[in-house]
């Protein structure tokens, strides 16, 4: 990419403003309805001001907004956004719904999903872990060093959380289904417990951090937790925690979603920009 490439970035998510800022090193960038307009980004009042000159359209995470993108100027349709794009331009978004992919294709745009990138997901996992640490600190009246924390699951986010929590001195236990996951966690000198035995061990933990997108923090588990137990669910909706049981039992429950965008939007936006630049360059060089 270079300054002969024109990009339009849209979306109310602050990550999009920071992504636009990062893209200016590689392209001429226009912003529509951003939460703020960075230096070297040109704000436009309507996508059609670009008169179909954009090579790249950068869209926000789309899993919750579908085909109408929230912006500072109100919601904008994909059809309106496409007015900025050249034929065969690349539209990059996060978790683009199938219906939106089909609509963009009907409007003459190719699509790329930056959230499917392995590199982005690995980097995002660390940002999520740092955000989770901030949530725990803000919801507790105790220091994290020495705190007993249970992490459920052993995917990217769970691994990042377990390692970070242990690094700041927490006593970390990992609960997982697979023996191989428990073995790997044990090799990192973390305590382990089979997920099937979670209810029997629940009272030991001051904090439970769930990363499993399945109902693993059940009413039975919640009833057996400490009265002051903080339960933080990082899994996508509907999560893996019985929120009703938390309310009935008086447990402090936080469903902490989209932490990279809330706690580190500049870093997260930069990661999106890096990923999209790589996708665009591969797209341009493809036969």
Average pLDDT, the chain: 96
In terms of Cβ atoms closer than 10 Å to its own Cβ (0-12, 13-18, 19+), residue 49 is middle
Question: Tell me: the pLDDT tens digits for 204-224?
Answer: 999 999 999 999 999 999 999
Residue 117's pLDDT is 97
pLDDT average, residue stretch 128-148 = 97
Structure confidence at residue 186 as a pLDDT band (50, 70, 90): very high
Name 42's bridge partners. Answer: 30
Share of the chain above pLDDT 90, in %: 95
Structural domains for the chain: 6-114+264-285 (3.40.50.720), 120-256 (3.40.50.720)
Residue 210's pLDDT is 99
Please state, in angstroms and as integers, the Cα–Cα distance from residue 126 to each residue in 52, 122, 286, following that order.
38, 7, 32
Share of the chain above pLDDT 70, in %: 99
pLDDT average, residue stretch 91-115 = 96
Nearest-angstrom CA–CA distance, 212 and 215: 8
* Nearest one of 143, 149, 199, 203 to 174, comparing CA atoms: 149
Q: How many CA atoms lie within 13 A of 87 on its CB side?
A: 0
Name 110's bridge partners. Answer: 90
State yes or no: pLDDT of 136 exceeds 70.
yes
Report residue 11 CA to chain centroid gap.
15
State yes or no: pLDDT of 3 exceeds 90.
no
Residue 1's pLDDT is 66
Question: Tell me: the pLDDT tens digits for 24-61?
Answer: 999 999 999 999 999 999 999 999 999 999 999 999 99
Question: Tell me: the pLDDT tens digits for 234-245?
Answer: 999 999 999 999
State yes or no: pLDDT of 2 exceeds 70.
no
Question: Tell me: the pLDDT tens digits for 247-274?
Answer: 999 999 999 999 999 999 999 999 999 9
Cβ neighbours of residue 183 under 8 Å, at least 6 residues apart? Answer: none
Residue 287's pLDDT is 66
Structure confidence at residue 285 as a pLDDT band (50, 70, 90): confident
State yes or no: pLDDT of 182 exceeds 60.
yes
Residue 63's pLDDT is 86
């Amino acid at each position: 990419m270079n300054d002969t490439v024109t990009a339009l970035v849209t979306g109310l998510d602050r990550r999009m403003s920071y992504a636009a800022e990062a893209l200016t090193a590689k392209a001429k960038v226009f912003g529509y309805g951003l939460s703020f307009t960075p230096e070297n980004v040109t704000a436009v009042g309507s996508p059609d001001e670009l008169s179909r000159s954009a090579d790249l359209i950068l869209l926000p995470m789309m899993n919750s907004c579908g085909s109408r993108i929230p912006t500072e100027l109100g919601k904008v349709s994909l059809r309106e956004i496409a007015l900025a794009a050249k034929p065969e331009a690349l539209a990059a978004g996060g978790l683009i719904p199938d219906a939106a992919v089909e609509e963009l294709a009907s409007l003459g745009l190719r699509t790329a999903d930056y959230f499917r990138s392995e590199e982005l997901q690995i980097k995002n996992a660390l940002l999520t872990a740092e955000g989770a640490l901030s949530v725990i600190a803000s919801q507790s009246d105790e220091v994290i060093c020495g705190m007993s924390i249970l992490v459920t699951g052993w995917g990217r986010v769970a691994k990042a959380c377990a390692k970070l929590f242990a690094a700041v001195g927490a006593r970390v236990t990992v609960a997982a289904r697979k023996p191989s996951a428990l073995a790997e966690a044990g090799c990192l000198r973390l305590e382990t417990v089979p997920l099937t035995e979670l209810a029997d061990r629940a009272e030991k933990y001051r904090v439970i951090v769930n990363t499993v997108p399945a109902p693993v923090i059940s009413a039975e588990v919640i009833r057996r937790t400490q009265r002051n137990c903080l339960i933080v669910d990082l899994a996508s909706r509907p999560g893996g925690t019985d929120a009703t049981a938390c309310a009935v039992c008086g447990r402090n429950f936080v469903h902490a979603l989209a932490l990279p965008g809330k706690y580190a939007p500049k870093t997260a936006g930069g990661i999106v920009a890096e990923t999209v630049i790589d996708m665009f360059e591969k797209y341009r060089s493809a036969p």
